Structure 1
């Protein structure tokens, strides 16, 4: 049975990381050292920004961004189709979370209708590592309204659109380096990227208990630092990010070429756009039962993982206090119909062919 998994690092990256880890352990400098600085420089280059600040998770990166914008008491627009952390980070920073409709991509009309003077920020989420073809228009809408656009780029390492990388469309972006991501820092980890020096300076203080250069606690921060070991593990992978993303894209394109049909459609990617390959998302045709489809694929030796987000935030018990009464048709449709096909680093041809054969059989059935 082929089961989706987070593939191990290639041997060359393991050797590089192990050498760095040994050096770190012998030095005794376990946080905020040269490996963190090297990692931050590589992350900034990935996002095409002047600044990157490494922290302990993508959730923390989002919360720091919101705190830097002083969103407390104001509204932050969050897609209902996203991870819990996107909304929780805004709430933790004191904001009032307001949900908007979104499938794989955001509903720009719904966002525009909700842009009141009380809105402190709009969040766009690059689900599965796919960048909405409408991102430039969304950035224009936010700029016209004078509202910062924040990118939740947790899935989007190496994704770009017409020369602009993920992280280059908004004021700031948050990245996750969790164990399942395209780049991982050894289980947990995150970073924020920005061209705004004030946001970057705030983040560097906030992650280190709010301390300034003299050790005084001048803002309400926390122990949100990334370890030197985590930074070294991430750096070893970032050296090969373009190659890795290209390989993932080849698998996605092959799936689309051989499996696209009325029963299975693949997302539109903007011309000159690149997905990160965190997920290979596809949509079942109307009327196809997803549970039965998964079972049919499994009969041919391939297990399909759960979707990216099969329960939008407006249906999550933890957000019941938001008292959401709006309809979110795009989010509900996407949650009900999407699948993620197996995709990981260094998939071999035999495995890809087995997936295609199993899915073709299920579609035919």
Structure 2
């Protein structure tokens, strides 16, 4: 069986180093925030090309904290609307709703799975921000969205939770908008050994507010300036992430090399392959194909012992939790949701496993 993702195997090259980091953490006695978190924040800000990085408990909190901080700055207010792709993962939508804002969904391109620029409306007065999700590891149309945001005086926020290190002409994800949210969930290209997230920004005032909001709204030891939250990146995960960050560029290149093999060697008219222009704009957190008769295809993968996953078979606006949006319909988003299949792609795959996946997909017939 070739699993969709073997996290233990993915982390095996770092096992001894991470054990050493744990011993360092245990003997230090500083378990929340502290030097380890600050060090990682500085390293990740430098990696992304931003002035600031603020560690958080997870990616959803990172995005919500951006919105809450923008409200504190007076740039957003409760009830304002936020444009986003209709296929955004539900965490993106929940961050908007939990911050007292309203999502406004936009359909996607069928080639890139990114927001369709031609579907972007002339914003109503209530629309104050746009969130771009770099889905599956592919940068969204950042230059175009940046121009759109400036033309309409909107905040431009990146959800970069699936695109650590993706770049356009040397400029990395997390540095295009007013702020960006990252997740370090264990499956991610830069994954912790538990939950974790971060905000990157070059807005010093925004960074200061988020640092306070993540820690109960505290400005000094006994002074709480804001009604904040508890969402801090713990020191142990920061130590692990600092070590894994050293290898992120290399691991992204491995992912890209596997993707090149898939794109060059999978030749089956029943399998629609993802878009990529062979630049660093895609770091292949996921390799998502489209197959019309998905049920038959999944049965075939199971019989050939190839693991898979689905990202995402139910659009967020069709989820029971968001039933007030159930009347909406976005044809391209729904077509992708009904046909998407994620096949294994990660640095832990062996050459023989890659060969096997290619062979099995080429031999599929309805």
The residue that corresponds to 2:341 in the other structure is 339
Written as runs of structure 1 = structure 2, the 5 A alignment for 1:172-187 is 172-187=179-194
1:237 matched to 2:258: no
TM-score by length of 1: 0.93
Query: Do the aligned residues in 1 keep the contact of 2:129 with 2:156 (CA within 8 Å)?
Result: yes
2:363 alignment partner, one of 348, 361, 364: 361
The residue that corresponds to 1:316 in the other structure is 319
The residue that corresponds to 1:29 in the other structure is 30
CA deviation after TM superposition for structure 1 residue 263, in Å = 2.1
Q: Distance in 2 between matches of 1:140 and 1:183?
A: 29
Written as runs of structure 1 = structure 2, the 5 A alignment for 1:131-210 is 131-132=139-140, 134-210=141-217
CA deviation after TM superposition for structure 1 residue 170, in Å = 1.0
The residue that corresponds to 2:119 in the other structure is 110
Structure 1: segments with no counterpart, 5+ residues: none
Q: Residue deviations 1:172-222, cap 9 Å, x none?
A: 110001121111221200001011111111110011110012431111111
The residue that corresponds to 1:280 in the other structure is 287
TM-score by length of 2: 0.93
1:294 matched to 2:303: no
1:91 alignment partner, one of 84, 93, 97: 97
Q: Distance in 2 between matches of 1:6 and 1:201?
A: 38
CA RMSD of aligned residues (A): 1.7
Q: Residue deviations 1:40-94, cap 9 Å, x none?
A: 1222123211110001000000000011111322111222212111111111111
Structure 2: segments with no counterpart, 5+ residues: none
Query: Do the aligned residues in 1 keep the contact of 2:81 with 2:129 (CA within 8 Å)?
Result: yes
CA deviation after TM superposition for structure 1 residue 271, in Å = 5.8
2:220 alignment partner, one of 206, 209, 213: 213
The residue that corresponds to 1:78 in the other structure is 84
1:119 matched to 2:135: no
Describe the shift of the 1:271–1:161 C-alpha distance in structure 2 as closer, same or farther (beyond 3 A).
Answer: farther
Number of residue pairs aligned between Structure 1 and Structure 2 = 357
Q: Distance in 1 between matches of 2:351 and 2:128?
A: 48
Query: Do the aligned residues in 1 keep the contact of 2:53 with 2:199 (CA within 8 Å)?
Result: yes
Moved over 6 A (4+): none
1:330 alignment partner, one of 325, 329, 332: 332
SS of the residue 1:272 aligns to: coil
